[in-house]
Chain A
Amino acid sequence: MTLRKYKDTPSYTATQNACKTCTPLGATLVFQGIEGCVPLLHGSQGCSTYMRRYLISHFKEPVDIASSNFTEETAVFGGGANLKLAIENVASQYAPDMIGIATTCLSETIGDDVPLILNSMDNTIKGTALVHVSTPSYTGTHVDGFHGAVAAVVDRFNPVDKRIVYRPKKKKKINLFPGMLSNEDLRHLKDIFEDFHTPVTILPDYSERLEGPSWQEYQAIQKGGTPISAIEKMHVAVNSIEFGAVLALAAENGQKTAGDILNKRFGVPCTRLPIPIGVKATDRFLDILSQISGRPVPERYRKEKWRLVDAYVDGNKYVSKKRALIYGEEDFVVSIAGFLAEVGIIPVLCASGGKSKTFKKALEQTLPETLIDQVVIQNDMDFTCMEETAAGMPEDLRPEIIIGNSKGYAMARRLKIPMVRVGFPIHDRVGGPRILHVGYKGAQQLFDNIVNTLLTASQTESRIGYAYM
């Protein structure tokens, strides 16, 4: 019996326990990943407070987000004056290098022309760059806000009329647009580039800023982040790498991505890859990196790879043909699905709250043909529908493990299915930002965690509780 018969998912008008959040959140996260940048939301006070809370609960670090603080009068007469006042106050309180301004549903609906307001200020205040991204909360999800902000920043600091003064031939610099990854992922990627002796500009990079040390003196803006001076030089890189299989398809369909802007304006080639999770995807990433940099894959990664494959072998019978429910941001789900497939786990339900039209296609490109028949792929899905779909599957087809961010916990608890926490956000555990997903090392940690979670479950269920695997 194939799963095809059970592909019916319940349909409701309301969203119940959303598997996504709103667009501006992604933009504020990007702004946190730029050195000296303070995010500012053009909207109600609540938006910035809620997003701060959401991000702080994951990162366990201060996350300051300013607000232009709409009032009833602002909503009627327009938010220009409030926005200017907010910009002035952020500038004098934080002395930032950049203020990242994201809109909200409110300012977008009343039709505030933010670019016009910023133009009237020459897009700067006391030398601080003002960068705007349009993020109406009623279109897309936090991922769209994220990619939108990355593109807006690249666009701003690499304008059309910028002249390529010098493209270094020897020190081949590469741009990396990693998408929404964990701090540990970003740190690992930096290590990889360092081991390839290849300079890289990663945008955004919140890995230091949102996971730094305790302080002697309070830092208005935490240290770390991609320096603006580096972003300004992105147009002289020899190549851009953009992670995300769904993003790649979106770019094919005309979405303006950061890599795309640099390609069209300055001819910087853009290589699009899925997020490198698992052996195959990491192979691909390292091969590309080797080609672009002209350097061989360093020995330590060969070692890591074969250690990982050996671990796959040691654990193969505990995972083979196990069924998983995975969810989260579309690109993340696609890459996790690819990883699960290569160890023999069937991702029977791949869900996302995202609404891109290419999620299914990206998964079809990633998963082997023999598997795709057994997989329910559903975007624009919330946790309630996910739970009902999983519960509605016949027992021999139902998921045996749940893999995703902490928001699936209530579902996992009710379904009594063990859960492995990955991705963003992790609100109910420490160390969420330290979860490594990418590279051989990331796959190693994910694999160990998944096998051990399955072993714990069978150990707990066992009447006797055995002492050996």
Chain B
Amino acid sequence: MTSISVLKQRERQIYQKGNQPFEIECETKSLAGAVSQRACVFCGSRVVLYPIADALHLIHGPIGCASYTWDIRGAQSSGPELHRMSFSTDLSETDIIYGGEKKLKKALLELIDKYSPKAAFIYCTCIVGIIGDDVDAICRQVEEETNIPVIAVHSEGFKGTKKDGYKAACDALFSLIERNNAPRVTIPDSINILGEFNIGGETWIIKKYYEAMGVKVVSVITGDGRVDEVMQAGNAALNVVQCSGSVTHLAKQMEEAYGIPFIRVSYFGIEDTSDALYQVAVFFNKNPEIIKKTQDLIKEEVQAIIPRLETMKKDLEGKKAAIYVGGAFKAFSLIKALKTLGMEVILAGSQTGTQEDYEVLRQMCNEGTVILDDSNPLELAKYSVEKDADLFIGGVKERPIAYKMGIGFCDHNHERKIPLVGFEGMVNFAKEVHGTVTSPVWDLVPRRQKAAGKEGAI
């Protein structure tokens, strides 16, 4: 694979664990022309707010941004499904020349009348920032007229990276919470679940655990989300933050404004799920019942799944995995979960990791592991093949890279349909990994045929 060369300006964002001192460049703008796997500010906002099922999500701009994000996440709702609709002001040339404010207002009033949402989020796309529509003013007017929260999300695509989009979404969420004028009453032994999006019904699995522990869930932000529920978030005693990249900003805002402390957790894999639940139990240690129930729950759940994992582990022992995810936090959990299955990680990267994240990654990984920040198809292909991966874990854009080279694939992005969190999620994950890694089709693909010295490989 010497044919693929790495761009000079990208070299500092690639690190191979070995003798050289650890140094990696990150948290920078993507290099023009590098074919980054990242999306934009709008995407960051859209994915965080997306699961709020009884809100209207109106995208202000030309049609593309709405088309590409229509029903894009596997975020489930137990009730209304307004979030699965794609609404756009579909700006045309005349709107660009004369401004889109009138159209926006008219569209909003019509949609609110038609769908009776509990709140409306208006996403500003690139062009809105350029033509100078006063979206905040329109939102204020419509909020007054309709009596529901109408919130502008300042997510113009070019104004930073996906992370800035997360921040804009957090600002919108905080602004929603702030609209609750009722006095704050802290509910004992209660939490908000933050950064959990109910992909494949994951929120329901986590909620079930907390219920069994005797911990009340005030709101989930934003999995199976409801506007009224989000607005109650100020009454929780603790914020439990998953997917820290996207919602830590909100947790910090709530800590500052309401004094609600937060902890960071992950519900992926046996180790991290147990750790998450214990952390919450320990926080509420004034209630000894909770600790007891948590211990029982974890013991029971772990015992139930271990035999099934052990069976699959036999086939997976020693297999090599590459991981490329949005936030680095997810990579930590994946590495641990893969270790549970006897697998080794040979490539780990993320779109938006920080210096500290990559330091943690480095410590977790074996010698020779390649660590990548804001990578692209060519680099991902180059290193997966060089390191001879048997499995690639990523999203839609990484899938064909793996498949072309005859590497198994597991979708860990927001489009998947299968819950991967918690104990039962670990079994699903193992089944996914086991299914693809042990598939007989790899025996037929050219790269494997060549490696086996078979004739007729193209």
Is B257 interfacial (CB 8 A cutoff)? no
Is B88 interfacial (CB 8 A cutoff)? yes
Give which listed residue, A45, A141, A220, contacts B40 with CB less than 8 A: A45
Contact with A along B1-34 (1 / 0, CB 8 A): 1011101010000000000000000000111111
Give which listed residue, A49, A54, A89, A213, contacts B458 with CB less than 8 A: A213
Collect the chain A residues with CB atoms within 8 Å of residue B42's CB: 46
Determine whether the beta carbon of B400 is less than 8 Å from that of A62.
yes
The residue of chain B having its C-beta at the shortest distance from the C-beta of A61 within the complex is: B400
Query: Once the chains are docked, how many angstroms separate the CA of A99 from the CA of B32?
Result: 14
A-B contact pairs, 6 of them (CB 8 A): A18-B66, A64-B35, A65-B35, A66-B34, A106-B130, A216-B458
Determine whether the beta carbon of A18 is less than 8 Å from that of B405.
no
Determine whether the beta carbon of A45 is less than 8 Å from that of B38.
yes
Query: Once the chains are docked, how many angstroms separate the CA of A303 from the CA of B39?
Result: 51
Is B309 interfacial (CB 8 A cutoff)? no
- With A45-B39, A57-B396 as given contacts, are A89 and B130 in contact (CB-CB < 8 Å)? no
Determine whether the beta carbon of B36 is less than 8 Å from that of A93.
no
Query: Once the chains are docked, how many angstroms separate the CA of A75 from the CA of B131?
Result: 11
Collect the chain B residues with CB atoms within 8 Å of residue A44's CB: 40-41, 126, 157-158
Task: Output the least CB separation between A357 and chain B (Å).
Answer: 14
Task: Output the least CB separation between B29 and chain A (Å).
Answer: 6
Q: Which of B267-275, B316-324, B445-453 contacts A (4 or more CB under 8 A)?
A: B445-453
Determine whether the beta carbon of B106 is less than 8 Å from that of A13.
yes
Determine whether the beta carbon of A20 is less than 8 Å from that of B107.
no
Determine whether the beta carbon of B35 is less than 8 Å from that of A67.
yes
Collect the chain B residues with CB atoms within 8 Å of residue A410's CB: 71, 84
Query: Once the chains are docked, how many angstroms separate the CA of A23 from the CA of B399?
Result: 26
Contact with B along A206-230 (1 / 0, CB 8 A): 0000000111111110000000000
Is A72 interfacial (CB 8 A cutoff)? yes
Is B87 interfacial (CB 8 A cutoff)? yes
Determine whether the beta carbon of B68 is less than 8 Å from that of A216.
no
Determine whether the beta carbon of B32 is less than 8 Å from that of A15.
no
Is B61 interfacial (CB 8 A cutoff)? yes
Determine whether the beta carbon of B30 is less than 8 Å from that of A109.
no
Contact with B along A128-149 (1 / 0, CB 8 A): 0000000011110100000000
Determine whether the beta carbon of A74 is less than 8 Å from that of B158.
yes
Query: Once the chains are docked, how many angstroms separate the CA of A349 from the CA of B101?
Result: 33
Query: Once the chains are docked, how many angstroms separate the CA of A86 from the CA of B376?
Result: 14
Is A85 interfacial (CB 8 A cutoff)? yes
Collect the chain B residues with CB atoms within 8 Å of residue A18's CB: 63, 66-67, 70, 86, 88, 90
- With A47-B64, A66-B35 as given contacts, are A53 and B404 in contact (CB-CB < 8 Å)? no
The residue of chain B having its C-beta at the shortest distance from the C-beta of A219 within the complex is: B404
The residue of chain A having its C-beta at the shortest distance from the C-beta of B161 within the complex is: A45
Task: Output the least CB separation between A431 and chain B (Å).
Answer: 15
A interface residues, Cβ below 8 angstroms from B: 12-18, 20-22, 24-25, 40, 43-54, 56-57, 60-72, 74-75, 82-83, 85-90, 92-94, 104-106, 109-110, 136-139, 141, 213-220, 384, 407, 410
The residue of chain B having its C-beta at the shortest distance from the C-beta of A214 within the complex is: B445
Determine whether the beta carbon of B33 is less than 8 Å from that of A90.
yes
Determine whether the beta carbon of A214 is less than 8 Å from that of B35.
no
Determine whether the beta carbon of B378 is less than 8 Å from that of A93.
yes
B interface residues, Cβ below 8 angstroms from A: 1, 3-5, 7, 9, 29-43, 58, 61-71, 84-93, 95-96, 103, 106-107, 110-111, 114, 125-127, 129-131, 157-161, 377-378, 381-382, 385, 396-397, 399-401, 403-406, 445-447, 450, 457-458
Determine whether the beta carbon of A17 is less than 8 Å from that of B70.
yes
Query: Once the chains are docked, how many angstroms separate the CA of A71 from the CA of B30?
Result: 10
Give which listed residue, A46, A75, A138, contacts B39 with CB less than 8 A: A46
Collect the chain A residues with CB atoms within 8 Å of residue B64's CB: 21-22, 24-25, 47, 50, 105, 137
Determine whether the beta carbon of A105 is less than 8 Å from that of B107.
no
Determine whether the beta carbon of B63 is less than 8 Å from that of A20.
yes
The interface centre, meaning the residue of B35, B36, B125, B445 with most chain A CB atoms within 10 A of its CB, is: B35
Give which listed residue, B9, B33, B107, B404, contacts A62 with CB less than 8 A: B404
Determine whether the beta carbon of B404 is less than 8 Å from that of A215.
yes
Determine whether the beta carbon of B397 is less than 8 Å from that of A109.
no
Task: Output the least CB separation between B92 and chain A (Å).
Answer: 5
Query: Once the chains are docked, how many angstroms separate the CA of A64 from the CA of B375?
Result: 13
Determine whether the beta carbon of A215 is less than 8 Å from that of B129.
no
Task: Output the least CB separation between B60 and chain A (Å).
Answer: 10
Determine whether the beta carbon of A216 is less than 8 Å from that of B107.
no
- With A44-B157, A72-B158 as given contacts, are A14 and B111 in contact (CB-CB < 8 Å)? yes
Collect the chain A residues with CB atoms within 8 Å of residue B33's CB: 40, 66-69, 85-90, 93
Give which listed residue, B31, B63, B89, B396, contacts A22 with CB less than 8 A: B63
Give which listed residue, A105, A141, A218, A219, contacts B126 with CB less than 8 A: A105
A-B Cβ contacts below 8 A, count: 245
- With A17-B86, A21-B63, A45-B157 as given contacts, are A85 and B32 in contact (CB-CB < 8 Å)? yes
Determine whether the beta carbon of A218 is less than 8 Å from that of B1.
yes
Determine whether the beta carbon of B31 is less than 8 Å from that of A89.
yes
Determine whether the beta carbon of A53 is less than 8 Å from that of B68.
yes
The residue of chain A having its C-beta at the shortest distance from the C-beta of B68 within the complex is: A50
Collect the chain B residues with CB atoms within 8 Å of residue A71's CB: 29, 158, 160
- With A47-B157, A60-B400, A93-B7 as given contacts, are A14 and B90 in contact (CB-CB < 8 Å)? yes
Determine whether the beta carbon of B62 is less than 8 Å from that of A67.
no
Collect the chain B residues with CB atoms within 8 Å of residue A43's CB: 126, 157-158
Give which listed residue, B84, B93, B157, B397, contacts A46 with CB less than 8 A: B157
Collect the chain A residues with CB atoms within 8 Å of residue B385's CB: 217-218
Collect the chain A residues with CB atoms within 8 Å of residue B381's CB: 218
The interface centre, meaning the residue of A51, A141, A217 with most chain B CB atoms within 10 A of its CB, is: A217
Collect the chain B residues with CB atoms within 8 Å of residue A94's CB: 378
Query: Once the chains are docked, how many angstroms separate the CA of A410 from the CA of B405?
Result: 34
The residue of chain B having its C-beta at the shortest distance from the C-beta of A91 within the complex is: B33
Determine whether the beta carbon of A62 is less than 8 Å from that of B401.
yes
Task: Output the least CB separation between B411 and chain A (Å).
Answer: 12
Determine whether the beta carbon of B378 is less than 8 Å from that of A218.
yes
Given A21-B64, A109-B130, A218-B404, 18 more A-B residue pairs with CB atoms under 8 Å apart are A14-B107, A14-B110, A17-B86, A21-B63, A46-B39, A46-B65, A46-B157, A64-B35, A66-B32, A66-B34, A75-B158, A85-B33, A92-B5, A94-B378, A106-B126, A138-B95, A214-B405, A216-B446
Collect the chain B residues with CB atoms within 8 Å of residue A51's CB: 68
The residue of chain B having its C-beta at the shortest distance from the C-beta of A12 within the complex is: B110
Task: Output the least CB separation between A373 and chain B (Å).
Answer: 31
- With A22-B62, A57-B396, A218-B382 as given contacts, are A89 and B7 in contact (CB-CB < 8 Å)? yes
Determine whether the beta carbon of A14 is less than 8 Å from that of B1.
no
Determine whether the beta carbon of A138 is less than 8 Å from that of B93.
yes
Collect the chain B residues with CB atoms within 8 Å of residue A65's CB: 35
Determine whether the beta carbon of A13 is less than 8 Å from that of B110.
yes
Collect the chain B residues with CB atoms within 8 Å of residue A62's CB: 377, 400-401, 404
Task: Output the least CB separation between A91 and chain B (Å).
Answer: 8
The interface centre, meaning the residue of B3, B58, B68, B91 with most chain A CB atoms within 10 A of its CB, is: B68
- With A13-B106, A45-B39 as given contacts, are A21 and B68 in contact (CB-CB < 8 Å)? yes
The interface centre, meaning the residue of A25, A220, A407 with most chain B CB atoms within 10 A of its CB, is: A220
Determine whether the beta carbon of B127 is less than 8 Å from that of A106.
yes
Determine whether the beta carbon of A93 is less than 8 Å from that of B34.
yes
Query: Once the chains are docked, how many angstroms separate the CA of A136 from the CA of B68?
Result: 16
The residue of chain A having its C-beta at the shortest distance from the C-beta of B96 within the complex is: A138
Collect the chain B residues with CB atoms within 8 Å of residue A72's CB: 158-160
Determine whether the beta carbon of B32 is less than 8 Å from that of A89.
yes
Query: Once the chains are docked, how many angstroms separate the CA of A57 from the CA of B413?
Result: 14
Determine whether the beta carbon of B35 is less than 8 Å from that of A21.
no
Query: Once the chains are docked, how many angstroms separate the CA of A452 from the CA of B28?
Result: 54
